[in-house]
Homo-oligomer: A and B are copies of this chain.
Amino acid sequence: MVLYIIGLGLGTEKDITLRGLEAVKSSSALFLESYTSVLCVSKEKLEELYGKPVTIATRDMVESESDRILSGAKDGNVSMLVVGDPVCATTHTDMMIRARELGIKVELVHNASVMGAAGCCGLHLYNFGKTISVPFFTEGWRPTSFHPMVLYNRRGDMHTLCLLDIKVREPDFEAMKRGRTEYLPPRFMSVNVALEQMLEAADVSEDKEKGAYDKDTLCVGMARLGQADECIKAGSMSELLSEDFGEPLHCLVVCSDDVHELEMEALDCFIVEGSRYKDWRTQQQGGD
């Protein structure tokens, strides 16, 4: 009688741990949380590996029907499968609290998350500050509250991991007006859109907040981290604006001005052609 919250990691169905697979095999019901991130394999692939059906859990379901999900755990084990690591999204915290209130044992099965995998560009994870989220701007809603956070991180010589907006199962208001419940196709923010919005946010910020970053600031754009075709490119904000990172999910790191020499050495192979940061290493060696 356990609620397992199982991290699936970042790549394919094979990124589950042996412990996670054992928990899945012991469960009578499997739910896949599908709205804070996306897996790059189909539900069918998972079902094939697990040998049992998987139910997609939408935001509505996790937030308003968590008792229904949890009721299964009173008779047999229930597994909630999440992309990445169970503790990286606050939704699962809610469900854990609710389960404990109901007297259901909760076990986490950890796995890799984007917050750990972001270190594979060579920047040291212990130099990262607060993580920010960049939401899709709309005509009337262009929040810039992330800007002072990047400023604070950079003033303290910290890198900033930027998580980029995901819109999954957004209601189609036009269809709703016609009395139909329909959803818009999913949207995933690209590194390019994030950079555009972030540069706009820097432009419109109050004077005291200027200087968090500008078009010349070193950034690292990353796509499909932990997957076979992951893409990592580093360069200034303006250089990365026109780079193609391919399919989602994307994320971005705004580097501190104080990138350690070892970090820069590891970043070197990801610097885009023609970048102002391209010759950093040669310049340093020439200066010896």
Contact = CB atoms under 8 A, between A and B. Distances in A.
Interface of A: 7, 9-19, 21-22, 85-88, 90, 93-94, 96-97, 100, 108, 110-113, 115-117, 119-120, 122, 124-133, 152-153, 156-158, 163, 226, 262, 265-266, 269
Contact of A115 (B19, B96, B116, B152): B116
Contact of A100 (B15, B96, B100, B269): B269
Given A111-B111, A125-B131, A97 B265 contact: yes
Contacts of A128: 130-131
A125 B89 CA distance: 9
A262 B95 CA distance: 12
B130 A126 contact: yes
Nearest to A126: B131
Contact of A130 (B116, B127, B133): B127
Contacts of A132: 126
A116 B88 contact: yes
Nearest to A96: B266
Contact of A110 (B117, B152, B157, B262): B117
B19 A12 contact: yes
A9 B112 CA distance: 9
Contact of A85 (B11, B88, B112): B112
B14 A110 contact: no
Given A19-B11, A90-B124, A112 B115 contact: no
A141 to B, nearest CB: 21
Contact of A116 (B113, B163, B266): B113
Given A113-B116, A120-B87, A97 B19 contact: no
B110 A122 contact: no
A153 B126 CA distance: 12
9 contacts: A12-B19, A18-B21, A85-B117, A93-B266, A108-B120, A110-B111, A110-B112, A115-B116, A128-B130
Contacts of A21: 18
A157 B149 CA distance: 10
A16 B13 CA distance: 14
Contacts of A18: 13-18, 21
